[in-house]
Amino acid sequence: MVELTRQYGRYGYRRVAALLRDAGWQVNDKRVERLWRREGLKVPMKQLKKGRIWMNDGSCVRLRPEYQNHVWSYDFVHHRTDDGRVFRTLNILDEYSRECLAIRVKRKLNSIEVIDALTVPSRMITFLLGDQRCSWQDRF
């Protein structure tokens, strides 16, 4: 069981039990789970995917910023005050310098306010990564 866990790192005890049964062992899931816990085995956390640029043909490219104002990212964060009223923040970051370019805080942020925050006259950006990791190229 330990060798199968080393060989198949992301498999849990149920999948290892199925592999053992396929190999001819007569074990059930409960026994494998008990032995799994006794051995202190755990399934490692799944690695999160990094932000990617999705192209029109379905392919994706991991975009690494090469200079300042090359890649910006934005994210909407929702909070509540003590009295239960909702407010939202729009955070805009430069991915190269990790500089916070803008934080807009409002009860309601409409699209015009978002576009105003993203179109800074003194800065020309190449890529914009959203909180859903969608991108627009050469629009700003």
pLDDT beyond 50 at 134: no
- Mean pLDDT within 78-100: 88
At 135 the pLDDT is: 42
At 118 the pLDDT is: 81
pLDDT beyond 70 at 8: yes
Separation of CA 115 from chain center: 24
93-107 tens-digit pLDDT: 888 888 888 889 999
pLDDT beyond 50 at 2: yes
Strand order in the sheet with 86-94: 100-106, 86-94, 71-80, 127-129, 135-137
Mean pLDDT of the chain: 78
Give the separation between CA 75 and CA 68, rounded to whole angstroms. 19
Give the separation between CA 122 and CA 135, rounded to whole angstroms. 21
Identity of the amino acid at 57: D
**pTM score, two decimals?**
0.48
36-57 tens-digit pLDDT: 888 888 877 776 665 555 555 5
pLDDT beyond 50 at 12: yes
- Mean pLDDT within 121-135: 58
Cβ(1)–Cβ(16) under 8 Å? yes
User: Band of the pLDDT at 140, cuts 50, 70, 90?
Assistant: very low
Q: Is the dihedral of CA 39, 42, 28, 15 positive or negative?
A: negative
